[in-house]
Amino acid sequence: MQHPPLSSCTRAVINETIGTLHLAAGEGDVLAVVTDAAYPRRTAFQLLGDLRQRCHAHGLDAATVSACSTAGQHSRACAGWLKEVRARVPPASRAS
């Protein structure tokens, strides 16, 4: 069975308990977020778009991440702006 190209894989419902996996494929990376199954698709992709912009602004590209020597190497540096990204996206109950 041949799978579709990664760039065309953007959304997959895992199940009603776990939720929906949203993927945003870039040139050399894939960003992912798992949301509640009822979470609006547009809002999830706004979150992924904002996350991609922040990663690039902070020099986190595929090459930088793959060159890490320890798990979580960039966690502390990312913690603050990851919270900012999440705070800018409304919860599903307020999202349109």
Which secondary-structure segment (H or E) carries 14?
strand 11-15
Distance CA 64, CA 69 (A): 10
pLDDT per position as a tens digit, 4-30: 554 555 666 676 677 888 888 887 788
- Bridge partner residues of 25 (DSSP): 30
- pLDDT (mean) for 41-63: 85
- Percent of the chain having pLDDT more than 70? 75
Q: Contact, 75 vs 82, CB < 8 A?
A: no
- pLDDT (mean) for 38-54: 86
Query: Within 13 Å and on the Cβ side, how many CA atoms surround 79?
Result: 5
Question: Of 81, 36, 32, whose CA–CA distance to 55 is shortest?
Answer: 81
Please state the domain extents for the chain.
6-87
Token reading at 14: 């895992």
